[in-house]
Structure 1
């Protein structure tokens, strides 16, 4: 089966074409945008298909990163995946960013149990993190949730977990050197999403965004005009 995987959960707008029967990636297209995923996603998908020598008619499933991550990017990717799935009559399979980071940490760094932790920016340690723990087989040990960075460090120590994600260093610093860092990325490689989706199959429901925190953008009530009384 040919799988299209897409990820807009962080700064990247990424797509790859994956052949499950051969267990290999055929080709990919990746742009580092920061913003503007909606304007570029279709072009990125078209470029990946063209590079792989495939068309939309060849696709058997869509894999999509559902977050946590960028609110706008996640909405763009999930909406596109569901739209393509409906139009093509194929399943869309959601993969959360935390499980993808954990899988990549196991594959790239040889980690066993992994705590994926997202939050903060370079040089800015987060007060809270978005986290989940997965064992050496990829099974969920601690479900995706939001907690204090100190709590996350304690949970990682109890679980014997290595750390992966943007908040990995901040959490490791709270452990006095007792926690290992396997990966510090905001998202996993696009092929990782394709592999996880291939293993999951189409047994789940339609993918939905996974949001663990409130959006950074807030309504600006000061600009709201008062209602006029008749």
Structure 2
């Protein structure tokens, strides 16, 4: 499709292994251009080139962007820092708002159907990152880091079986199983922690621009202090 000259949304995700960039047209509700690469590491080095390439593929200049959206975590500490720093830098350079979207919210919203849904990412060290959405998409409980065996109590408000998405879905299903008897079974819809860029774009459009995006880590970093030079897009706030 031919992109308009202005009013476009740039969305960035570097919270997990993937490095993803997309240009979205809010008026048409359509993706103009998108690129995603599974990197594991090296997001800071790859992201600027991907942004340039996606804009070129969309056939638009930077000036066509009117808002920047980014996943803010939880997820990879370095990846979150890279994405949030980049979104804020692009927003500042363009003079447009930059907004943040919780990764777990985007994960759950992409799969949400007719019952509560739990997005759960395996955070290692015996914990998961979790967020619970109602069937209508409202956040029932805020994002948290906790042991999987605490999930039954933490999700009790849902009052029945859940849909599950994310790399921690199997851990959640094992923990929830005994507590959901008589009300049907909780169901794993996806066992991957990944971001659908259309969903990220939609949530970014709805997100308030009152405050710039800030990393949502939920716990202290696992990694040792870096021994290499830190790039601009890895600067923490």
Tell me which interval the TM-score lies in, with the shorter structure as reference length. 0.7 to 0.9
Matches of 1:77 and 1:2, distance apart in 2: 19
Matches of 1:96 and 1:173, distance apart in 2: 25
Q: Runs of 5+ in structure 2 lacking a partner?
A: 1-6, 179-184, 227-237
Q: Is the 8 A contact 1:31 1:44 kept in 2?
A: no
Secondary structure at the residue paired with 1:119?
A: strand
Q: Which residue of 2 aligns with 1:170?
A: 171
Of 41, 60, 63, the match for 1:57: 63
Q: Report how far residue 184 of structure 1 moved.
A: 1.8
Higher deviation after alignment, 136-145 or 111-120: 111-120
Output the aligned Cα RMSD.
Answer: 1.8
Q: Runs of 5+ in structure 1 lacking a partner?
A: 221-230
Would you say 1:44 and 2:50 are equivalent positions? yes
Of 15, 22, 26, the match for 2:32: 26
In the TM superposition, 1:1-230 aligns within 5 A as 1-106=7-112, 110-120=113-123, 127-156=126-155, 158-159=157-158, 160=160, 161-176=162-177, 178-202=185-209, 204-218=210-224
Q: Report how far residue 175 of structure 1 moved.
A: 2.9
Alignment deviations for residues 56-113 of structure 1 (CA, whole Å, 9 cap, x no partner): 110000000101001111111101110111110000010010100110111xxx3531
- Alpha carbons of 1:129 and 1:13: their partners in 2 closer, same or farther (altered >3 Å)? same
* TM-score where L is the length of structure 2: 0.84
List 4+ stretches of structure 1 deviating above 6 A: none
Tell me the number of residue pairs that the alignment of Structure 1 and Structure 2 aligns: 212
Alignment deviations for residues 93-144 of structure 1 (CA, whole Å, 9 cap, x no partner): 10010100110111xxx353111111157xxxx6221111111222111011
Q: Is the 8 A contact 1:153 1:172 kept in 2?
A: no
